[in-house]
Amino acid sequence: MKKIAIVGYAQNKILASAGALNEVELIMPVVHKIFNNLGISQKEIDFTCSGSCDYLQGAAFAFVEGLSAIQTNPPIKESHVEMDAAWALYESMLKIQMGDADTALIYGFGKSSPGDLDSIISLQMDPYYISPLWPDRISLAALQAQVLLNNNIINKDEIMHAVIESRNNGLNNLNALIQTSITEDEYQKDLVLSSPLRALDCPPISDGASAMIIASEDKAFNFSSNPIWIKGIDHRIETSNLGARNLSSSPSIKSAMKSLDIENTAFDIAEIHTQFSHEYPFLRKLLNLENVPINLSGGPLVGNVMMAAGLDAIGKVYEQLSTNSYKRGLAHATSGPCLQHNMLVSLEKNS
Partner 1 sequence: MNQEDKEKDYFESPIHLEYQYTAGAATTRFLNKVKEGKLVGQECPKCKAVYVPPRGSCPRDGIATNREVELVDQGCIESFTIVHIPIPGNPIVPPYVCAMIRLDGANISFLHLVDGIKLTDIRIGMRVKAVWKPKSEWRHSLENIKWFIPTDEPDVDVTKLRFKPE
Partner 2 sequence: MIPAAVIGVGQTNYKAKRRDVSIAGLVREAIDKALLASDVEWDAIDAVILGKAPDMFEGVMMPELYLADAIGAVGKPVIRVHTAGSVGGSTAIIAASHVCSGKFDTVLTVTFEKQSESNATWALSPRYPYSPHINAGAGGYFAPFIREYIRRHNPPENIGWKVAVKDRINALKNPLAHLQILGIDEKMVSDSPMLWEPLRYLESCPSSDGACAMVIANKNLSNSRNAAWIKGMAVRSEGTLSAGRDEVNPQGGIDCAKDIYNQAGITNPRNEIDCAEIYVPFSWYEPMWLENLGFTDIGEGWKLTNEGLTELEGDLPINMSGGVLSSNPIGASGMIRFGEAALQVMGLAEDHQVKNAKVAMGHAYGGAAQFFSMWIVSSTKD
Residues that bind partner 2 (CB under 8 A): 1, 48, 53-55, 58-61, 63-65, 67-68, 70, 72-83, 87, 90-91, 93-95, 97-100, 120-121, 123-128, 131, 234-241, 251-252, 255, 335-337, 340-341
- Rounded to whole angstroms, the Cα distance separating 320 from 293 reads 11
Stretch that binds partner 1, among 57-65, 156-164, 223-231, 268-276 (CB under 8 A): 57-65
Selection from partner 2, partner 1, none that 28 binds (CB < 5 to 8 A by kind) is partner 1
Residue among 106, 73, 17 at smallest CA distance from 333: 106
From the list 81, 99, 73, the residue with the least C-alpha distance to 219 is 99
Task: Identify which of 83, 84, 76 has the alpha carbon closest to the alpha carbon of residue 100.
Answer: 76
Which of partner 2, partner 1, none binds 57 (CB below 5-8 Å, type-dependent)? partner 1
By C-alpha distance, which of 112, 328, 140, 92 is closest to 231? 328
Find all residues with CB under 8 Å of 201, minimum gap 6, and list them.
Answer: 145, 159, 163, 193, 276, 277, 278, 301
Taking CB under 8 A as the rule, which mask of x and - marks residues 15-34 in contact with partner 1? ----xxxxxxx--x--xx--
Task: Report what 21 binds from partner 2, partner 1, none; CB cut-off 5-8 Å by kind.
Answer: partner 1
CB of 223 to partner 1, least distance (A): 18
DSSP secondary structure string for all residues of 159-228: HHHHHHHHHHHHTT-TT-S------HHHHHHSPEEETTEEGGGSPPB-EEEEEEEEEEHHHHHHH-SS-E
The answer to whether residues 129 and 233 touch, using CB atoms and an 8 Å cutoff, is: no
At closest approach, how far in Å is the CB of 323 from partner 2?
Answer: 30
Work out which of 37, 97, 119, 181 binds partner 1, going by CB under 8 A: 119
Residue 116 found at the interface with partner 1 (CB under 8 A): yes
Contact by Cβ (8 Å): 249, 238: no
98 binds, among partner 1, partner 2, none (CB under 5 to 8 A by kind): partner 2
Interface with partner 1 (CB under 8 A), residue from 13, 77, 132, 151: 132
Q: Which residues bind partner 1 (CB under 8 A)?
A: 19-25, 28, 31-32, 41-42, 55, 57-59, 65, 67-73, 113-116, 119-120, 123, 132
